[in-house]
Structure 1
Amino acid sequence: MRVEIWTDIACPWCYIGNARFERALAAFGHRDEVEVVHRSFELNPEAENRATPILDAVAARYGRTREQQVAREERAASEARAEGLGFRIGGRVDGNTFDLHRLLHFARARGLQAGLRNLAFKVNFADERSIYDTETLVSLAVEVGLDGAEAREVLADADAYAEDVRSDERLAAELGAGGVPFFVLDRKYGVTGLQPVELFARALEQAWENRPATRVRPPVARGPVPAP
């Protein structure tokens, strides 16, 4: 069985949803027969790497006051900490995640994508370090076991793994993803938005029980995807 997961490292709900899915998968009786494929999604592909404080950038993007955005961050922090995840408020910056997504595809080719993805989530939300500059990305690559020189070459070549990222994003659009996190199980069941562990567990069981079927079925859950 295959589970495809679209996320953006800049998305707090993806950070939390990833942890919840991993909890559900760890408790799933057939977890060793589940292939998890992480796919790319950019929340703000037009963003530039200008080190704009995340609270100001996202508030402006969605027409909120700074106080409203702080309240959303506090909610995300509470949800994250309930999952045992670190989450700081106020120190993150806005930026363009395309290079990070390219690096994640490079890591996938080396069998280290999940480790880099989880480390990038931690660095962004728990440590509040920028995930947008080359030196940080190379250091993260090295930390998970990738070759630093190769990672630097990938980042220096704007075309390296760019089509892999775009292909993921086109597929997300074809499948109707309006935001992330977005989980697709065997191309038959979909789970969108921030959902509880129990729903992921039910989705895994349902997809497993019906895995021989080829008919596309309605999503298990398709709730609103919260903006960052």
Structure 2
Amino acid sequence: MRVEIWSDIACPWCYIGKARFTQGLSAFAHRDEVEVVFRSFELDPDAPRTSPVPVVEMLAAKYGRTLDEARGMEEHVAGSARAEGLPYRTEGRDHGNTFDIHRLLHLAAARGRQEHLLDLAYRANFGEERSVFDPEVLIALAVEAGLDEAEARTVLADGSAYAAEVRADEQEAAELGARAVPFFVLDRRYGISGGQPAEVFTRALEQAWAGREPVEQSAAGACGSDGACAVPQS
């Protein structure tokens, strides 16, 4: 079985959702027969490629809140992350364009190091005093994940490297009806939207494994009360 996960490094619920999915997968009897593939999705593709802004300021401007209200929003998400054992800083984090991060993740996928780099990038962005929007931080993370430093630098310097792969992932997400992340697609039969509890992922994996035939759909892409969605067939 293949599970594809559309996500963005800038998305805290992707960070939380990945941890919950991993927990749900660990409780699935056939977990060793599941291939997990991570796909690109940019929450804010128009964000500047340089000069990232503080997350709290971005949230206040985006949602029309005061800085204190935006800090409260961050504290709420931080509580959910910490409940999963994930480090989460509510102050001092940056928000910026994630396209280069996605390109580097595609390089990592080609070298069999994608999930390792993804985990390192999540932890750096949400839990550490490192900005993933700094190219030198990205290079350091790539090396830590086992990538060749010279190759990583070459990819970051060439804006076209793996750009088509990122755009293809985003186009496919649009075709599947994914307008938010995280978005999980199981065997191209079922989808789950959002950072659902671990047990939801376990049940969905069991359903996808047992069904092996598309479920009857009342509406294409409709989500049930438990967060599971039927994925339109291509």
| Same fold by TM-score greater than 0.5 | yes
Considering only aligned residues, what root-mean-square deviation do their CA atoms show, in Å? Answer: 1.5
Q: Following the alignment from structure 1 to structure 2, what is the Cα–Cα distance between the partners of residues 62 and 175?
A: 27
The Cα offsets for residues 2-29 of structure 1, whole Å up to 9 and x where unpaired, read as: 1110110111111000000001111211
**Structure 1: gaps of 5 or more residues:** 224-228
- Paired residue for 2:232? none
SS at match of 1:118: helix
Whether the 8 Å contact between 1:50 and 1:94 is mirrored in structure 2 is: no
Long gaps (5+) in structure 2: 229-234
TM-score by length of structure 2 reads 0.91
Alpha-carbon distance in 2 for matches of 1:71, 1:45: 25
Residue matched to 1:120 = 121
Corresponding residue number in structure 1 for 2:231: none
Q: Which residue of the partner structure matches residue 90 of structure 1?
A: 91
CA contact (8 A) 1:188 1:219 kept: no
Distance 2:135 2:17 in 1: 27
Q: 1:122-153 CA distances to partner (integer Å, 9 max, x unpaired)?
A: 00001041101211111100001100000000
1:158 and 2:159 are equivalent in the alignment: yes
Per the alignment, residue 3 of structure 1 pairs with 3
Structure 2 equivalent of residue 29 of structure 1: 29
How many pairs does the alignment contain? 222
Length-normalised TM-score, structure 1: 0.93
- Greater CA deviation, 104-113 or 72-81? 72-81
**Is residue 2:110 matched to residue 1:102?**
no
**Secondary structure of 1:5 counterpart:** strand
Match of 2:66 in 1: 65
How has the CA–CA distance of structure 1 residues 137 and 205 changed in structure 2, closer, same or farther, with 3 Å as cutoff?
A: same
The one-letter code of the counterpart of 2:118 is R
* 8 Å CA contact 1:24, 1:198 repeated in 2: yes
Deviation at 1:178, TM superposition (A): 1.2
Equivalent pairs: percent with the same residue?
60
* Residue 185 of structure 1: aligned partner: 186
Do 1:187 and 1:216's aligned partners in 2 also have CA atoms closer than 8 Å? no
